[in-house]
Chains A and B, each alone.
Chain A
């Protein structure tokens, strides 16, 4: 059995779960910055409060799977994205403590909401910047990162960062649309109408610039031109589905279509870089951990993941339906 491949598949699964789940709650966090009414902001935070911790755990899972399955890649990528990663981690931290700190005092709540929003925005932006940096390519020598701190700062990372922020806002809009009523639902619909076209434009420009900057992407398009075109078309369908269903009262469909949109995008990226774990530099077999490490990790994964999905699903089920106007206690 090709164990490194299975570990890589789980890595991809974990990353996708992260982008889906934390994607929408980061999106909701960013939206706090442009929402002027305190009561609506409270309502928005309440909608993600019971589940954000589980969502963010997928980020830890992704990082640790990379460490366990592909330590060489982990050791190259962490220093390569040193500044954006630390900026992301600190922002996630500020955002995470804001959940608890914002409710402690009435008159400081507004300030914590700004911290919350900025933290969400910077975290999302840095994730997108890292994606851009991966597309540009990481300088590697002797299995070690050999670039400088600012190798990843440029037009492509900035573009991909804004595209990722837009994608998270689409997901955030979809989530609020599902979990809200009346005024907030109208607001969520508005977010979807603005952000879906914005994402489509940013995504297209990012893809075009990626193809210009990275020869590896041009090669991938030559090999799987048809397949990748089909994926782009499917993303278009998903985008239309989000906008179309948000017009009608189909509460769950915009969010699910948003997941499809982002999932197909991630799938396309994985297809382009496969079988590399450090894109265009190091294959997953070259970076692989020892055989028994994969055995141990994958045994744990195959036993525990179904259980996790079951009780996480249950936790979502407990807090199903629209978020109560006065919070979960009312």
Chain B
């Protein structure tokens, strides 16, 4: 059997980065959520916010931990699997990621310890500052890494001389044409993820008739954020769509599932297709008539441009781009529907009593993560066959590493990441099952984070106790 190193290197990178993105997406959202909750506590001094903070902090810590260790892998993986890419793109993306480490990773790491363990050592105000710094760190991190990734999508500010990439204008490298559209889109995705996660867990408690006050407050906050955010996200997504149509037409052609240079008129909106890349046609396609024309051209009979507008050797694989996009799109519509329903129920005063709605919210718990993954598959597979769009092809970027090495390390990654995911899910579900009130007793033996801020729940005065042990 012959194995293609390019394919293996891509699978390895795709697997590790897909796995990784789940955790920062969750922790970016939760960090800001925690900052808001702690702020609300400082302002109102309501006990319930401490409980919410404590509960989600423990889950944040789990997600952050897995995010950190899988993120360290990525900073080396640019060179492990794609050495040529690193050598060419290093002058542009290297300093950007360097600034990410300097302004964000250190900030998160420096204040995370205080956030998790330092409550009694620094007092509430400084502790709130630490939470805010961690949240700021996650936002900065997302902004830098989105800049680097957007530069790969829409490279700018560089020239190629003698096969070497030379930076000529930093402003254009960092603020490249797609960054300012993709960064808010990603941040909003992370916030949506945390909103549906917290709302879903709150709804589960309400269904179980346990921890009612906690469930209500968490659910209310989560649904409130989700409702505002999804509307904003649809708007941002639409802006980004227009931008990418301009800069990467091949990606958007593949995303809509049309092959012919001009589609039929009126164009349908496809939901399921079975594309045949070799024959440049769909073996099967199912869609809603007229809807494609309406949505994509804003007219009743408009035609949509297909992938044949792009030369065959520059086409991405349609199936991956299309289904990545559809996953995100359908999830977005479902989220929008749930948000609308929540407004209706709130108006009717039945937000907590409609068991069907609560059940839907529980099912929606991973909605943000699924949509985010779909969006990233659209972004990354749609950029192919380029690794730096228009500058360097993925196949020319692969490291001089044998297929067998790549395969064996891929298997190692899959095995160990499976351990991570299993343990994470087991502990996450157990933490949720134990509930907010039971959390502290579970980790008595070690100086865990639950212990760290427990005293204040029992007695507010402890907060002002002397710092020394």
Interface residues of A (CB under 8 A from B): 38-39, 42, 45-46, 49-51, 53-54, 56-57, 59-61, 63-65, 67-72, 74-79, 82-83, 85-86, 89-90, 92-97, 99-106, 109, 143-146, 148-149, 289-293, 295-297, 300-301, 304-305, 308, 311-312, 314-315, 318-319, 321, 323-324, 326-330
A319 and B118 form a contact (CB under 8 A)? yes
| B164 proximity list for chain A (CB < 8 A) | 290
Measured CB to CB, the nearest residue on chain B to A39 is B445
| B68 proximity list for chain A (CB < 8 A) | 53, 56, 96
Answer yes or no: B405 CB below 8 A from chain A CBs.
yes
A79 and B451 form a contact (CB under 8 A)? no
Closest Cβ of chain B: how far from A7's Cβ, in Å? Answer: 10
In the assembled complex, the Cα of A68 lies from the Cα of B84 at a distance in Å of: 14
Measured CB to CB, the nearest residue on chain B to A145 is B400
Using A57-B101, A100-B62, A300-B102 as known contacts, list a sample of 19 further A-B pairs with CB atoms less than 8 Å apart, ordered by residue number in A.
A49-B447, A54-B106, A61-B101, A71-B91, A75-B399, A79-B79, A79-B83, A101-B427, A103-B448, A289-B91, A304-B99, A304-B102, A308-B110, A319-B113, A323-B447, A327-B117, A329-B450, A329-B453, A330-B469
B116 and A42 form a contact (CB under 8 A)? no
Measured CB to CB, the nearest residue on chain A to B84 is A75
A42 and B446 form a contact (CB under 8 A)? yes
| A49 proximity list for chain B (CB < 8 A) | 113, 116-117, 447
| B413 proximity list for chain A (CB < 8 A) | 86, 90
| B121 proximity list for chain A (CB < 8 A) | 318-319, 328
Closest Cβ of chain B: how far from A123's Cβ, in Å? Answer: 11
A68 and B110 form a contact (CB under 8 A)? no
Answer yes or no: B203 CB below 8 A from chain A CBs.
no
8 closest A-B pairs by beta carbon, nearest first, are A327-B447, A71-B90, A68-B94, A78-B79, A329-B451, A50-B113, A75-B87, A54-B109
B445 and A79 form a contact (CB under 8 A)? no
| B21 proximity list for chain A (CB < 8 A) | none
A297 and B94 form a contact (CB under 8 A)? yes
Closest Cβ of chain B: how far from A133's Cβ, in Å? Answer: 15
B70 and A93 form a contact (CB under 8 A)? yes
| B84 proximity list for chain A (CB < 8 A) | 75
| A315 proximity list for chain B (CB < 8 A) | 110-111, 113-114
A60 and B120 form a contact (CB under 8 A)? no
- CB neighbors of A among B111-139 (8 A): 111-114, 116-122
Given the interface pairs A76-B83, A297-B94, A308-B102, the reply to whether A318 lies near B118 with Cβ below 8 Å is yes
Closest Cβ of chain A: how far from B409's Cβ, in Å? Answer: 5
| A38 proximity list for chain B (CB < 8 A) | 445
| A146 proximity list for chain B (CB < 8 A) | 400
The binding surface of chain A is classed by DSSP as helix
Residue among B80, B93, B166, B454 making CB contact with A82, cutoff 8 Å = B80
B420 and A89 form a contact (CB under 8 A)? no
A318 and B90 form a contact (CB under 8 A)? no
| B448 proximity list for chain A (CB < 8 A) | 103, 327, 329
| B103 proximity list for chain A (CB < 8 A) | 300, 304
A60 and B75 form a contact (CB under 8 A)? yes
B98 and A57 form a contact (CB under 8 A)? no
In the assembled complex, the Cα of A295 lies from the Cα of B70 at a distance in Å of: 30
A290 and B165 form a contact (CB under 8 A)? yes
Answer yes or no: B309 CB below 8 A from chain A CBs.
no
Answer yes or no: B461 CB below 8 A from chain A CBs.
no
| A70 proximity list for chain B (CB < 8 A) | 90
In the assembled complex, the Cα of A38 lies from the Cα of B446 at a distance in Å of: 10
Answer yes or no: B362 CB below 8 A from chain A CBs.
no
A104 and B443 form a contact (CB under 8 A)? yes
Closest Cβ of chain A: how far from B112's Cβ, in Å? Answer: 6
Measured CB to CB, the nearest residue on chain B to A69 is B94
- A interface footprint on B426-443 (CB within 8 Å = 1, 0 otherwise): 010011000000000011
Answer yes or no: B15 CB below 8 A from chain A CBs.
no
Answer yes or no: B39 CB below 8 A from chain A CBs.
no
Closest Cβ of chain A: how far from B454's Cβ, in Å? Answer: 6
Residue among B72, B94, B402, B447 making CB contact with A149, cutoff 8 Å = B402
Closest Cβ of chain A: how far from B199's Cβ, in Å? Answer: 24
A311 and B95 form a contact (CB under 8 A)? no
Closest Cβ of chain B: how far from A95's Cβ, in Å? Answer: 8
In the assembled complex, the Cα of A178 lies from the Cα of B68 at a distance in Å of: 27
Measured CB to CB, the nearest residue on chain B to A112 is B423
Q: Can you list 5 A-B pairs with a CB-CB distance of less than 8 A? A: A39-B445, A49-B116, A64-B97, A79-B79, A149-B404
